[in-house]
A and B are shown apart, each in its own frame.
Chain A
Amino acid sequence: MRRYTRTLGRLWSASLFAEMEYRTNFVVAALNGIGTLAGTIFTLSLFYRDGFLIGGWVWTQALFIIGCFTFLDGFQAAFLGPNFQRFSEYIREGTLDFVLLKPIDSQFFVSFRNLSLWGIPNLVLGPLLILYAGFRNDPPVPLVDYLVGALALGLGTVMLYAMGFFLVTFTIWFVKLWNITIALQSIIQAGRYPISSYPPAYRFVLTYLVPVLFLTTVPAEAFSGRSETVWILGAAGLATGLLLACRLFYLFALRSYTSASS
C-alpha cells in the first residue's frame, strides 16, 4: 500500500510540475471552473426566483445536486479525462508496454497516472457548495447526513470511473476512441438536474441503463436527509458490480493486446 501511495504522490507531483511549466493554464482553469459554476447557479436561481420547483426539489436541495455534479465534473477533468485520453496514446504508440512491464497494477497506473490542474477548482468548489447548501438548508444538515451523502457521492464517483474505464478498455481493440471522454461528460451533464425533472422514458434510461441517478440524485437526497437505505445499499452494490466488471473486462482485453510495432 505504501508503495502505491508513494508512487501516486510522485506521479501527481510530476503531473503538476509538467503543468506548471505553463503557468497561465492554471489561472484559466480556475476562472473556467468558477465561471461555469456561477452560470449553473444563476440559471437555476432564475427558475427558483418565481417559486418554480425542478422535479419537486427546493433551492438548497438543487444546490446539493449542483455540488455533486461540480465535484464529479472536477473528478472527470482532473483524472478520467487526461488519463483516458492518454490511454489511447499508450495503445496507439505501444507505450502501454512500459506500464505492463512495471511491478505495479497496470489498471491503477493508467487510471491515475496523470492529474490535471483543470479539474482541481471544481473538485474543491463542489464540496464547498454542498457545505454551503447544508448550512442554508432549513433545518441545517446534520453531520450524519453529510457522512451518508459523502458515502453516496463516493460510490457515484466509483461508478463513473468504472463506466468510463469499461468504455476506454475498448481502445485495446479499436485503438482510436478519443470520444469516450465526451461520452463521459455527457453522462455527467445528465446528472446536472434531479432525475425526477426528466420525462419518464429518460428517467428509466438514466436509472437502469446508464445509472446517472446514482451519480448525483442519490447523493443529493442523502445530503438533504431524504435518502432511503435501500438506495444507498443499491448504490454500493452497483458500484461494486461495475468496478468488478470493468476489472474483469480489462484483464480479458489485455489478452488481446498486441503492442504497436516498434
Chain B
Amino acid sequence: MPIIQVNHLAKHFQVAEKGTGWRRTLRHFFRRQYRTVEAVRGIDFSIEPGEIVGFLGPNGAGKTTTLKMLSGLIHPTAGSVEVAGYRPFDRRREFLFQITLVMGQKQQLIWDLPARDSLRVNAAIYEIPDRVAKERVDALAGLLDMEENLTKPVRKLSLGERMKAELIAALLHHPQVLFLDEPTLGLDVNAQTTVREFLRTYCSRTGATILLTSHYMADVTALCERVLVIDEGALKYDGSLEGIREQFAPYREVKLELGQELDREDFERFGEVESVEGRVVRLLVQRETLAESVQQLMGAFEVLDLTVSDPPVEEVMGRIFQNGSS
C-alpha cells in the first residue's frame, strides 16, 4: 500500500504584478493587478514505503510547491493527497510525528545558541525523553561527524555544518517520511557526500521513505532508483533513472577519432555535432538510425577509433530543463 498517494493535485496562486517606475508603482499601490499562476497542474503519483524518489525539474517547475502540499504547509487548490494515511493539510498531531521537511534555504535552529539547545526544544515538542534524545542525537551526530560542533553557536558553524545540524533536528523524532528540498544546496563536495551517505544509512536502518529534490544530479544518481520529472507544474516522467534516457534521450553518443582534422559541417548530416576538438569528434545520433549512420561514417572518413555510449543522465536532464520536456 503506498505511503504517499497523490491524485490530480493542483495548486494555483494569485500573484500581484507590478511594473517599474513611479506611475506603475503608484498604480500598483492603489489598484493591484493579479495573475493566476498554475504552479502545479493536476499531477498523479504514488510512492511505496521505503522508496527513495528523486523529484526533478527546473526552477519554478512546481517541486517545492508539491512538497509543501505533501507536508501539509499549504492547501491544494484541487485534487487529493494522502501521506501515511492522513490528509496532510489537516495537520493531525499523529501525522506530524511521522514526517519531516528539510529545506536547504531555510533553517529552524536558533541562530545565537548551540544546536543542542534547539535539539532540547525539539525533544520536548516531540515528547522524547531526555535519555532517548541524547542517544539519538549522539547517533545522528556520529553518522554526520558532528559531535564536536553541536556545542558551538549556530551562527559560528559553516554552511555544511549547519545543514548537518538541521538534519539532526529534522530527524530527531525518527520520521517515517522525509521531504528533502535541496538538502545539499551550497555545500562543498565532501559535505554533499557525507549528507548523501548519511541519508542512505538512515533509510536502510529505519526503512524511511524519501522524496528528494536537488539540482545536484549526483544526489539523485547516488540515492534514487526512481525519479519524478516535473515541468511547468505537470508531471513529465515517472520511472527509473535509466528510463529517462529511453524517453528523453532517444539518441546515443558516437565518439570518433579521425586520421585527419575536418570541419564541423562535414558531420552535420549524420547527427547533432556536440564537439569537434582536433581529430576527435562527438556526435549525437538517433537510436533508430545508429547502425546505418555508423556504417556511413566508417565509409566516408578515415576512422581510427569509434565508441558508442549512452549520454550521461546529467546531460539528459540538463537538456530536458533547458529545452522544456514537452
Contacts and interface: CB of A to CB of B under 8 A. Distances in A.
Contacts of B184: none
B121 interface: yes
A15 B119 CA distance: 14
- Counting contact residues on chain A (CB < 8 A from B), the size range is 20 to 34
A6 interface: yes
Contact of B117 (A17, A93, A95, A104): A17
A231 to B, nearest CB: 39
B122 to A, nearest CB: 8
Interface string A117-135: 0000000000000000000
A18 B110 contact: yes
| Among A13, A257, A262: residue with most chain B CB under 10 A | A262
A100 B72 contact: yes
A98 interface: yes
B182 A262 contact: yes
B96 A14 contact: no
Contacts of A14: 110, 113, 117-118, 120-121
B1 interface: no
B165 interface: no
A261 interface: yes
Nearest to A257: B74
Nearest to B68: A259
Given A7-B121, A103-B126, A17 B101 contact: no
B209 interface: no
A225 interface: no
B121 to A, nearest CB: 5
B214 interface: no
- The interface centre, meaning the residue of A103, A104, A258 with most chain B CB atoms within 10 A of its CB, is A103
B149 interface: no
Given A3-B125, A18-B112, A103-B97, A94 B106 contact: yes
Contact of B125 (A18, A103, A258, A261): A103
Contacts of A23: none
Contacts of B74: 257-259
Contact of A97 (B75, B103, B104, B127): B103
B32 to A, nearest CB: 12
Contacts of B118: 14
A49 interface: no
Contacts of A10: 117, 120-121, 124
Contact of A100 (B13, B91, B121): B91
A262 B181 contact: yes
B108 A98 contact: yes
Given A3-B124, A262-B64, A262-B182, A18 B71 contact: no
B99 interface: yes
B106 A98 contact: yes
Contacts of A13: 117
A40 to B, nearest CB: 33
A164 to B, nearest CB: 23
Interface string B13-24: 100000000000
A1 to B, nearest CB: 12
A57 to B, nearest CB: 45
Interface in B73-118: 73-75, 91, 93, 96-97, 99-101, 103-108, 110, 112-113, 117-118
Nearest to B75: A255
Contacts of B120: 10, 14
Interface in A227-262: 255, 257-259, 261-262
A10 B73 CA distance: 25
A243 B61 CA distance: 41
Interface string B228-250: 00000000000000000000000
A94 B71 CA distance: 14
Contact of B73 (A6, A93, A259): A259
Contact of B96 (A97, A101, A257, A261): A101
Given A14-B117, A18-B113, A103-B96, A262 B125 contact: no
A99 B225 CA distance: 32
Contacts of A95: 106-108
Nearest to A105: B93
A101 B125 contact: no
A11 interface: yes
Contacts of B97: 103
Contacts of A102: 96, 122, 125-126
A138 interface: no
A21 interface: yes
B98 to A, nearest CB: 10
Contacts of A100: 72-73, 91
A260 to B, nearest CB: 8
Contacts of B182: 262
Interface of A: 3, 6-7, 9-11, 13-14, 17-18, 21, 93-95, 97-98, 100-104, 255, 257-259, 261-262
6 contacts: A9-B124, A14-B120, A14-B121, A93-B106, A97-B68, A103-B125
Given A7-B121, A257-B73, 18 more contacts: A3-B125, A7-B124, A10-B117, A10-B124, A14-B121, A18-B112, A95-B107, A95-B108, A97-B68, A98-B106, A100-B73, A100-B91, A101-B72, A103-B126, A255-B75, A257-B74, A259-B68, A262-B181
Closest 6 CB pairs of A and B: A98-B108, A103-B96, A7-B124, A18-B112, A6-B124, A103-B93
